[in-house]
Amino acid sequence: MNSPSSQLPVITPEKPLPDVITPGKQPPQTTPPENATFTIRLVVKRRKRKVVVYRGQEILATYPIAVGKPGWETPLGNFRVFNMEKDPIFKSFKTGKMIPPGPENPLGNRWIGIWTDGKTQLGFHGTNQEYLIGKAVSHGCIRMRNRDVMALYELVTIGTHVTVEP
């Protein structure tokens, strides 16, 4: 019999692949189709360390974030949500260790994926180090306080448009 945690997908968002995120080089963008009409959209403002949630032109919410550190900058461009997970399992790219959902999991309690090359994923996620919110510390992902990523998770759906600005 499988336990609930053995049925959860494994998220490995921060693998060190130099051809994916390197200074001055951006990964391929994923954009919604031209006829897409998603009412909610996200705008990440890297320098201001915040994500703004819009419905049309109306601002619904603004959340503080942490972004990619030098050499691992969160990529600029247009993306869309392609994957969402509650209580993700993290696989360390350094040690290969699997970290189940809980207080030691660096992904916190939610994962909202916005980019992948089939091996690596980037996205919004919670954190077990909320004191780092507002800093450039990740390997390209967008870290949020757990309560904030839980609220964001309820606002977005697969296909939600995400723009990452400088």
125 is catalytic: yes
Q: pTM higher than 0.85 for the full model?
A: no
Amino acid at residue number 29: Q
The CATH code belonging to domain 7-165 is 2.40.440.10
Catalytic residue among 141, 144, 149, 162: 141
List the pLDDT tens digit at each of the 166 positions of the chain.
444 444 444 555 544 433 344 445 555 555 555 555 548 999 999 999 999 999 999 999 999 999 999 999 999 999 999 999 999 998 877 788 898 999 988 999 999 999 988 777 899 999 999 999 999 999 999 999 999 999 999 999 999 999 999 9
DSSP three-state, residue 54? strand
Of the residues 110, 125, 139, 143, only one is catalytic, namely 125
The answer to whether 142 touches 51, Cβ cutoff 8 Å, is yes
